[in-house]
Chains A and B, each alone.
Chain A
Amino acid sequence: GAGVSQSPRYKVAKRGQDVALRCDPISGHVSLFWYQQALGQGPEFLTYFQNEAQLDKSGLPSDRFFAERPEGSVSTLKIQRTQQEDSAVYLCASSLVAKRTSTDTQYFGPGTRLTVL
């Protein structure tokens, strides 16, 4: 596709429900990142994939958060037993190359706004 797409754009969940957020990166992009953006804050790193390998998950706030990218393209961020503090915009970004020293541009999707009631 022309850019990074995310679905759903908006999600309302009751506390305790499980949610799954989808990211479709730009075709051919090797690297995929997930960020969490709380209201009025800058995005914060959650996790990083190089192809299907999850190389860094240091930003995941708890073991309720799980991400996967099984075929090296589409990625899903799953949040189990959602809590009110999980309310945020979840941003996905992809970049073409995989080198650790790369300054390659990360292209962001529009985000999924999650509201936990």
Chain B
Amino acid sequence: AQSVTQLGSHVSVSEGALVLLRCNYSSSVPPYLFWYVQYPNQGLQLLLKYTSAATLVKGINGFEAEFKKSETSFHLTKPSAHMSDAAEYFCADRGQGGKLIFGQGTELSVKP
């Protein structure tokens, strides 16, 4: 069955440090991958999406992700963490009919 795996349910970084959130997918067909961010008591907001146009995808708030087919990965990075980046991050793949299949989520904490 199609699935998305996020390694690490919790990641903690210092302000100004590199952010790396890991995501692996299992789809056997070309995937369409998404990263969403969820702040407390809010809905999900799209950070970026991969649609096969380019392997390096730039999103909002300085985030970017690189699609690597050989590794079935779509890791999210940001060169310098900001306190406002603290939130829950979800990786998702598009399933049949357009529904999203989400990973378990990674909570990002940013230390001052």
Interface on A for B, CB 8 Å cutoff? 4, 31, 33, 35, 40-45, 48, 55-56, 59, 91, 93, 95, 99-100, 102-111
Contacts and interface: CB of A to CB of B under 8 A. Distances in A.
Contact of B43 (A31, A59, A110): A110
A40 B38 CA distance: 12
Interface of B: 4, 6, 9, 32, 36, 41-46, 49, 51, 90, 92, 94-105
Contacts of B49: 103, 105
A49 B101 CA distance: 17
21 contacts: A4-B43, A33-B100, A35-B102, A40-B9, A42-B4, A42-B6, A42-B90, A42-B92, A42-B103, A42-B105, A43-B90, A48-B98, A55-B97, A91-B44, A100-B98, A103-B32, A103-B51, A105-B49, A108-B36, A108-B45, A110-B42
The dominant DSSP class at the A interface is loop
Contacts of A106: 46, 100
Contacts of A108: 36, 43-45
Contacts of B36: 108
Nearest to A113: B41
B41 A110 contact: yes
Contacts of A104: 98
A8 to B, nearest CB: 13
A35 to B, nearest CB: 8
Given A91-B44, A103-B49, A48 B90 contact: no
Given A108-B43, A111-B43, A43 B98 contact: no
Contacts of B99: 33, 45, 48, 56, 59
A77 to B, nearest CB: 15
Given A42-B105, A43-B102, A103-B51, 17 more contacts: A33-B98, A33-B99, A40-B105, A42-B6, A42-B92, A42-B102, A43-B90, A43-B100, A44-B102, A45-B95, A48-B99, A59-B99, A99-B98, A103-B32, A103-B94, A108-B36, A108-B43
